[in-house]
Each structure stands twice: as C-alpha cells, then as structure tokens.
C-alpha cells in the first residue's frame, strides 16, 4: 500500500493579510491562491451568513482540500484554475482580492513535485502536474539562448549562460535531465561562486518554476483585473516572496495610485487615480523565528477609489 504523507504549511502573514482586507461581514472576496486554505479559513470566520469567498488554485490537492470546505460551507467555492481566471468574474463585485504568491511548503517538501533541489524527485515543477509541459520536457530541447534568458530574467542569475551551456552539453553527452538532483548537481558545477548559505541551484530552480508556470504573466493579468473587479473601498492585498514579483506589484500600485495633473487643462487639478496605496508589511521577527520561509515575504496593500478607469 502506498504510504500517505501529510505535508504541513504555515500560512505567512496570516492575521496581517486578513486585517488588511478589512473584512465586511456581507462582503465578497477572492483568495486567488488557496494553497492549504489558511487565509481562506480565517477570512470565512469573519464573514457573516451573506458573505462570499471564491478561491482559485491550480494544484489538485489544494483544490481537493478546498472542495471539502465548500461541501460544508455554502459561502465558499473553489475552482481548480490558474488565478488569472479571476478575469472571468463580474466587474465591481469584490470587496477584496488576496494573492499569496509563489510555491507552498507542501509543494516544496514533496520531492515528487520536483520543486526542490533538496529532495530528489522528477524534474517537474508544474503547479498542476496534469497539464502542460514539465521542466524536464522543456529542457530536453530548449535552445541555449532561451534557457539562458529564462535563467537570467527569472532567476536573476549572473551565470545563466554557463548553466545553459552545461545543460546542453549534458543532454548531448548523456541525454536529457530527468531528476531534481541531477539538475542541482549540474548547476553547482557551473556556478563558481554563490552567496553564503544559499544553494547554487536556488536561482535556477526559481527561474524554471516561474517559466514553466507562466507565473509573472499570471500575476500581471490578475493585477490588471483587480482594477475592474474591486468595488470602491475594496482592498488589493498581495504577498510576494521574491524581488521579481514584488517589483511588479510595487510598480503596478505606484502606477495606478499617484495623482496625475493634466497640464493642458485651464485649471490643473490633480486627477484621482483608481488605487490608493496603503503600505507595505513584512513578517515579524517572531514569525520569522517560527517559520524561516516568511523572511522574504513582502505584503503590499492598496484600496480601490471611486475614480473611473
């Protein structure tokens, strides 16, 4: 009989995120990245009978956990879909949109998912392992320039070309990479220096995961949709775990929150923008001690204004 594993997940910035949403008892909310349901459960505890919470997650196990909650609570629903599918929701219907980005602890800790360079397993990295191309399949014939660009852009890795060339040599000599341990060892041989305490494969694994799941494209679509979906006073709350995501969120909020003055108008009154920036939150020292993975988390919060798009 196959052994079952229970992978634990500590929800990052749990109370801070729900507080930032300013939950209204009869409000309608979206948890765009359900994960293991930590944020959703706390949000549901603050909703009244008329409140509604819609969730999205590509991961089959996450969707199954969400389905169990939905079977017991009619205020909750979940779709096994990419979170960019929030674009399908009706305009002006949401009081809050929460996105907790990146990969969850159970996905990292389960070697069979292929996200981790510490736990050997198939070189997969798909959020939904039933759809799309795995990292192993992509690496089997990806051109060197494309691999180097992905590693450089999504991993911010200065040895991107050396790593891409090493992957190419390996597949020509011994065939395609198939396991996370093989990739981690190959990257370590190509990266000559690395920050103290950081595995040489960290940036490359991040880059391939982001690429194979189109994570930044997903994020941009969901951010753009938030302007249409949120009611005036509705909150946008986004938790990021690396600089690429956080930069996108920071720039998006800044772009839509700063006042614009029309210099051509006779009276140069500032034009109200659709968002109001409400600040940035990081994990407390206590949370970091309890959950070291929260160290890199940055939560940004904005509120929808009355301004028309």
The model's pLDDT over 46-66, given as tens digits with 9 standing for 90+, comes to: 999 999 999 999 999 999 999
Of the candidates 89, 86, 70, which has an alpha carbon nearest to the alpha carbon of residue 78?
70
List of domains in the chain: 14-105+215-304 (3.40.50.150), 128-212 (1.10.150.170)
The model's pLDDT over 194-236, given as tens digits with 9 standing for 90+, comes to: 777 788 999 999 999 999 999 999 999 999 999 999 999 999 9
Burial (CB count <10 Å: 0-12, 13-18, 19+), residue 299: buried
Q: Where are the alpha helices (DSSP H) in the chain?
A: 14-21, 38-46, 60-72, 105-109, 135-139, 144-155, 160-174, 180-190, 202-212, 215-229, 243-257, 285-290
Q: Considering the chain, what is the average pLDDT of its residues?
A: 91
Confidence of residue 115 (pLDDT cuts 50, 70, 90): confident
Q: Where are the alpha helices (DSSP H) in 73-121?
A: 105-109
Q: Judge contact between 205 and 220, C-beta under 8 A.
A: no
* Tokens 């994020």 -> residue: 219
Distance between CA 166 and CA 168 in Å, rounded?
Answer: 5
What are residue 237's DSSP bridge partners?
A: 98, 301
Helix count and strand count (H, E) for the chain: 12, 9
């Amino acid at each position: 009989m196959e052994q079952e594993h229970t992978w634990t997940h500590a929800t990052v910035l749990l109370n801070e995120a729900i507080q930032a949403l300013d939950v209204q008892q009869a409000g309608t909310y979206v948890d765009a990245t359900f994960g293991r349901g930590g944020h959703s459960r706390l949000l549901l505890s603050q909703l009244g009978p008329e409140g509604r919470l819609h969730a999205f997650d590509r991961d089959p196990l996450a969707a199954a956990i969400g389905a169990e909650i939905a079977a017991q609570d009619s205020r909750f629903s979940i779709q096994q879909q990419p979170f960019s599918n929030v674009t399908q929701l009706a305009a002006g219907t949401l009081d809050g949109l929460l996105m907790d980005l990146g990969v969850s602890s159970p996905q990292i800790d389960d070697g069979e998912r292929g996200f981790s360079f510490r736990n050997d397993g198939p070189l997969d990295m798909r959020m939904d392992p039933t759809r799309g191309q795995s990292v192993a399949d992509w690496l089997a014939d990806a051109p060197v320039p494309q691999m180097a660009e992905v590693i450089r852009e999504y991993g911010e890795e200065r040895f991107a070309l050396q790593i891409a060339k090493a992957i190419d040599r390996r597949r020509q000599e011994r065939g395609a990479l198939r396991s996370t341990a093989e990739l981690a060892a190959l990257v370590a041989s190509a990266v000559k220096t690395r920050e103290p305490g950081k595995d040489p494969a960290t940036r490359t694994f991040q880059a391939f995961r982001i690429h194979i799941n189109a994570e930044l494209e997903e994020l941009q679509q969901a951010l753009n949709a938030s302007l249409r979906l949120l009611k005036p006073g509705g909150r946008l709350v986004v938790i990021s775990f690396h600089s690429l995501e956080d930069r996108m969120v920071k720039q998006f909020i800044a772009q839509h929150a700063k006042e614009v003055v029309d210099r051509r108008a006779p009276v140069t009154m500032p034009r109200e923008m659709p968002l109001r920036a409400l600040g940035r939150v990081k994990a407390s020292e206590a949370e970091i001690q309890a959950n070291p993975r929260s160290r890199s988390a940055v939560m940004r919060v904005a509120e929808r204004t009355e301004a028309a798009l």
